């Protein structure tokens, strides 16, 4: 992606560099959302259904972490994964895996906090019915997550939006290495610093279009699901 | 729909895809911590494919300011550092983090400013005089302020001009703490002067009203050096692969390749590996 | 089958059930009547084990499985069949049981429909089927036809009779005296958390023993 090319030209000519960057962006952000969902959804549901001392404090912290600055998350993961850090021997710094980890840290609080709210609201509605049906704690969590699945799509999309839009964390832990850890957002930052503003804004438009497309897909899936499952 | 099983599958699948390259990477790749100026000049995009064809080694470049790049080396997160601030590099060596520094090439810094040139420095050959004029006229000056090699060079030039910019910060002297491109963008949009390496400047696309006003002063030469991170400090350093990269840079073949790199017919870097004192 | 002994439930200073002692014996349906706020719902929930007693006791044959249909049953966000499936015990011949239960409540062919898209009457019947999927010995119904039209009410009552005829003990609350007359084997009149009268239906409607029962049946407001 060098020379005097516009973003539109890159799309029209099927520039392989551009596609690799788009693919990596999606791979990293979607993987992070998947990991964050695996952690955040059960965690949020668990907090929604259990009562223990300090629960309120955890909810406040979780809500606050939704606004965790990406660069701070990135720095924390950087120090963790650096060769001089505790997990340095894994050799993950400056790899896509490190980027997925950093974005997972960013996205998990969003998904957990929104899941907690959604599941707690649903719990008020379902509580008696599930108690009457003698459903155990794990069964309750599973039932509530499954029955909240359409609302939880929104939580996942919020998480994806954050992951796809951020540059601070993946820049620090990924290093923006050409052909390896360069994504849409780090490319935009790089092209901006090179002064190629038209290419930067073009890439930005492509990024926005992709995010809109994914949201449209998820929304359509949600609507279809709701129609069939009420 | 996204049920838990699909989510889990997706997570495992993507994790395996994402972790795979790092496993592969053990074989034939190194990480080089370098500076934004080499990155922004486009040198790597030209040089690294040549090196890869010759040796099969993939070079992954992290471009940071010189200070940060050396820190990356200190932490053991890079195999090789390729930067341009000799005193900082020597400190790095004396702390034991580097094996040996090899001079590779130089380019030069240029003083950039708006065509209107409020300080009236255009065409001058003495950079210290020009800087003093900028200060006297209270003309805006953008500093990288990011501990990069360019930033270090700029501070050295101010010192040579007997201007204490510490005192001026916040007035006409603005330190933005960002890379070369960002500094040029800022200068362009605020009619300010800025010091840039020539490579970044030539490759910069958003020149607008900016132009080179002062160049050619010996004090503006910018020496690049390359250093292998000390494997005795960090066992993970890929000593042999990193050394092959260094050997290539200072070999006659690598030196010629560096000299041949041109943008719009202009040579950006001057190889000088044989000048061991550089 | 279920015996309340001095069962008392209070929320703050308000006593909802006040030393209730009553027994629900096997046989035809027991109907709880009384004005709103008399404690009918709490009594059913307590019998189901969903409400903690402040004092007293409720004893239940441990082998007697209980199920309840709330006044506004909550349908899971899945198909009608899946709602029944949810309540079935493991290892049953599920497809067959689901079909049987849907037939029983007159919802044959509705299995694939989203439960929440069914009408109020249909949801009430599906809730009945779901409760029956637990194969209860005792079935509690809280105002099973409170907001239904006469046709739906009749459908529900027919199911209740059929279920009762199979030997399931039904305990239901209603404020519809007609329904009480149509279904009850015995009647419990509740007022302000107390059992005012408990008698076989024929006796209760023919010669009520208390002043409150007389007034309630005459359509007066019990305050």
CATH number, domain at B159? 3.40.190.10
Residue scoring higher pLDDT (A9 or A40):
A40
Contacts of C167 (CB under 8 A, 6+ apart): C26
Q: Could you tell me if B37 and B149 are in contact, meaning their C-beta atoms sit under 8 angstroms apart?
A: yes
Please give the C-alpha separations between residue C3 and each of B120, C19, C58, in angstroms, as whole numbers: 103, 12, 6
Which residues does chain C have within 8 Å of residue A229's beta carbon, measured at their own beta carbons? 77-79, 114
Structure tokens that stand for B115 in this block: 């065509």
Q: Is B120 helix (H, G, I), strand (E, B) or coil?
A: coil
Which residues does chain A have within 8 Å of residue B188's beta carbon, measured at their own beta carbons? 195
Which residues does chain A have within 8 Å of residue B40's beta carbon, measured at their own beta carbons? 193-194
Structure tokens that stand for A83 in this block: 């060769």
The three-point CA angle C208-C159-C67 to 5° equals 85
Buried b or exposed e, range B146-158, using 16+ CB within 10 angstroms: bbbbbbbbbbebb
The shortest C-alpha distance from A150 to chain C (Å) reads: 10
Contact C70 A132 (CB under 8 A): yes
The shortest C-alpha distance from B69 to chain A (Å) reads: 11
Whether B136 and B205 map to the same domain: the answer is yes
C-beta atoms surrounding C206 within 10 Å:
9
Residue where the block lists tokens 């924390």: A76
pLDDT at B1 over 90: no
Residue scoring higher pLDDT (A11 or C72):
C72
Predicted local distance difference test score (pLDDT) of residue A67: 92
pLDDT at C175 over 90: no
- Choose one of B183, B203, B220: the last residue of a domain: B220
A residues 210-229 lying closer than 8 A (beta carbon) to B: 221, 225
Contact A176 B63 (CB under 8 A): yes
Contact C76 A143 (CB under 8 A): yes
Alpha-helical regions (H) of A91-148 = 96-132, 137-147
Q: Kindly state the percentage of chain C with pLDDT values over 90.
A: 77
Predicted local distance difference test score (pLDDT) of residue B187: 94
Please give the C-alpha separations between residue A21 and each of A179, B205, C215, in angstroms, as whole numbers: 8, 21, 81
Whether B136 and B62 map to the same domain: the answer is no
A residues 49-78 lying closer than 8 A (beta carbon) to B: none
Range C1-65+137-223 classified under CATH 3.40.980.10: no
The shortest C-alpha distance from A52 to chain B (Å) reads: 26
Q: Give the pLDDT mean for A123-148.
A: 94
- Structural domain contains residue B159: yes
- pLDDT tens track for A24-33: 999 999 999 9
Residue scoring higher pLDDT (C120 or B11):
C120
- What are the extents of the domains in chain A? 7-229
Whether B201 and B158 map to the same domain: the answer is yes
Strand B193-197 to strand B98-114: parallel, antiparallel, or no bridges (unpaired)?
Answer: antiparallel
Chain C within 8 Å of A52 (Cβ-Cβ)?
Answer: no
The shortest C-alpha distance from B162 to chain A (Å) reads: 31
- Structural domain contains residue B183: yes
- For A40, counting Cβ atoms within 10 Å of its Cβ (0-12 exposed, 13-18 middle, 19+ buried), the class is buried
- Structural domain contains residue B36: yes
Lowest mean pLDDT among B2-11, B25-34, C143-152: B2-11
Q: In CATH, which superfamily holds the domain spanning A7-229?
A: MetI-like (1.10.3720.10)
Contacts of B186 (CB under 8 A, 6+ apart): B142, B174, B176, B178, B192, B194
Chain C within 8 Å of A126 (Cβ-Cβ)?
Answer: yes
Chain B within 8 Å of A7 (Cβ-Cβ)?
Answer: no
Q: Could you tell me if C200 and C27 are in contact, meaning their C-beta atoms sit under 8 angstroms apart?
A: no
pLDDT at B6 over 70: no
Residue where the block lists tokens 């005459």: C218
Q: Is the pair B, C in contact (3+ CB pairs within 8 Å)?
A: no
Whether B181 and B45 map to the same domain: the answer is no
Distance, in Å, from the CA atom of A38 to the CA atom of C137, rounded to the nearest integer, reads 40
Contact B62 A83 (CB under 8 A): no
Distance from the first to the final alpha carbon of chain B: 63
Contact C134 A228 (CB under 8 A): no
Which residues does chain A have within 8 Å of residue B63's beta carbon, measured at their own beta carbons? 176
Whether B257 and B191 map to the same domain: the answer is no
Contact A129 C74 (CB under 8 A): yes
pLDDT at B5 over 60: no
Domain ranges, residue B232: 4-107+223-271
- Choose one of B193, B220, B247: the last residue of a domain: B220
Whether B141 and B235 map to the same domain: the answer is no
Whether B143 and B169 map to the same domain: the answer is yes
Confidence of residue B226 (pLDDT cuts 50, 70, 90): very high
The shortest C-alpha distance from A132 to chain C (Å) reads: 7
C-beta atoms surrounding C21 within 10 Å:
13
Looking at the partner chain, which of B4, B10, B182 has a beta carbon nearest the beta carbon of A193?
Answer: B182
Predicted local distance difference test score (pLDDT) of residue B15: 54
Predicted local distance difference test score (pLDDT) of residue B22: 46
Buried b or exposed e, range B252-266, using 16+ CB within 10 angstroms: eebbebbeebeeeee
Chain B within 8 Å of A158 (Cβ-Cβ)?
Answer: no
* Number of folded domains that form chain B: 2
pTM of the model: 0.84
pLDDT at A59 over 50: yes
Question: Neighbours of C (≥3 Cβ pairs closer than 8 A)?
Answer: A
Q: Give the pLDDT mean for A74-78.
A: 96
Q: Kindly state the percentage of chain A with pLDDT values over 70.
A: 95
CA nearest to C76 within chain A: A147
Contact A147 C87 (CB under 8 A): no
């Amino acid at each position: 992606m060098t020379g005097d090319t516009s973003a539109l030209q890159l799309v029209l000519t099927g520039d392989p560099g551009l596609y690799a960057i788009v693919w990596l962006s999606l791979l990293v952000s979607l993987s992070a959302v998947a990991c964050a969902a695996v952690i955040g959804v059960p965690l949020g549901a668990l907090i929604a259904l259990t009562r223990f001392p300090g629960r309120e404090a955890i909810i406040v912290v979780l809500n606050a972490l939704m606004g965790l600055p990406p660069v701070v998350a990135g720095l924390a993961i950087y120090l963790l994964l650096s060769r001089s850090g505790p997990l340095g021997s894994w050799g993950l710094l400056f790899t896509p895996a490190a980027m997925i980890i950093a974005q997972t840290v960013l996205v998990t609080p969003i998904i957990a906090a929104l899941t907690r709210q959604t599941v707690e609201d649903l719990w008020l509605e379902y509580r008696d019915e599930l108690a009457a049906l003698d459903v155990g704690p794990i069964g309750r969590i599973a039932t509530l997550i499954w029955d909240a699945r359409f609302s939880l799509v929104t939580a996942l999309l919020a998480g994806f939006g954050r992951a796809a839009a951020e540059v601070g964390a993946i820049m620090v832990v990924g290093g923006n290495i050409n052909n390896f850890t360069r994504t849409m957002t780090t490319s935009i930052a790089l092209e901006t610093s090179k002064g190629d503003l038209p290419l930067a804004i073009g890439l930005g438009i492509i990024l926005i279009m992709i995010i809109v497309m994914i949201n449209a897909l998820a929304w359509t899936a949600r609507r279809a699901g709701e129609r069939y499952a009420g | 729909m996204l049920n838990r099983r699909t989510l889990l599958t997706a997570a495992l699948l993507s994790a395996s895809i994402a972790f795979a390259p790092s496993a592969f990477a053990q074989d034939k790749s190194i990480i080089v911590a370098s500076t934004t100026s080499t990155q922004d000049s486009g040198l790597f995009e030209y040089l690294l494919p040549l090196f890869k064809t010759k040796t099969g080694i993939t070079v992954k470049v992290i471009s940071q300011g010189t200070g940060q790049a050396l820190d990356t080396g200190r932490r053991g997160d890079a195999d090789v550092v390729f930067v341009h601030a000799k005193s900082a590099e020597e400190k790095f060596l004396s702390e034991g983090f580097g094996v040996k520094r090899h001079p590779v090439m130089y380019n030069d810094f240029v003083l950039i400013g708006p065509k209107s040139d409020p300080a009236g420095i255009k065409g001058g050959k003495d950079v210290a005089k020009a800087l003093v004029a900028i200060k006297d006229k209270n003309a805006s000056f953008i500093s990288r302020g990011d501990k990069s090699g360019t930033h270090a060079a700029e501070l050295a030039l101010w010192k040579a001009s007997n201007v204490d910019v510490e005192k001026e910060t916040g007035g006409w002297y603005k330190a933005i703490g960002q890379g070369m491109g960002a500094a040029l963008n800022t200068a362009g949009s605020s009619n300010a002067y800025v010091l840039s390496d020539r490579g970044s400047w030539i490759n910069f696309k958003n020149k607008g009203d900016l132009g080179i006003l002062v160049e050619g002063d010996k004090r503006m030469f910018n020496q690049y050096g390359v250093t292998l991170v000390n494997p005795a400090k960090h066992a993970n350093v890929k000593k042999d692969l990193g050394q092959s990269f260094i050997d290539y840079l200072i070999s006659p073949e690598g030196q010629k390749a560096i000299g041949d790199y041109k943008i719009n017919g202009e040579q950006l870097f001057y190889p000088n590996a044989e000048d061991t004192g550089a | 089958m279920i015996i309340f002994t001095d069962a008392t439930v209070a929320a703050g200073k308000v006593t909802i059930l006040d030393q209730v002692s009553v027994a629900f014996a096997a046989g035809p349906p027991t109907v709880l009547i009384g004005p709103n706020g008399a404690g009918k719902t709490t009594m059913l929930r307590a019998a189901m084990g969903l409400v903690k007693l402040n004092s007293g006791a409720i004893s239940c044959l441990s082998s007697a499985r209980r199920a309840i249909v709330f006044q506004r049953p909550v349908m899971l966000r899945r198909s009608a069949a899946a709602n029944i499936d949810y309540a079935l015990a493991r290892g049953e011949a599920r497809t067959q049981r689901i079909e049987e239960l849907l037939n029983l409540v007159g919802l044959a062919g509705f299995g694939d429909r989203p439960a929440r898209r069914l009408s109020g009457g249909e949801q009430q019947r599906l809730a009945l089927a779901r409760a029956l999927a637990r194969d209860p010995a005792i079935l509690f119904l809280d105002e099973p036809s409170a907001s239904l039209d006469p046709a739906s009410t009749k459908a529900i009552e027919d199911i209740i009779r059929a279920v009762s005829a199979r030997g399931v003990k039904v305990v239901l609350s209603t404020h519809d005296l007609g329904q009480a007359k149509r279904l009850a084997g015995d009647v419990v009149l509740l007022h302000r958390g107390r059992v005012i009268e408990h008698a076989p239906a024929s006796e209760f409607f023919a010669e009520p023993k208390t002043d409150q029962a007389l007034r309630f049946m005459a359509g007066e407001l019990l305050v």
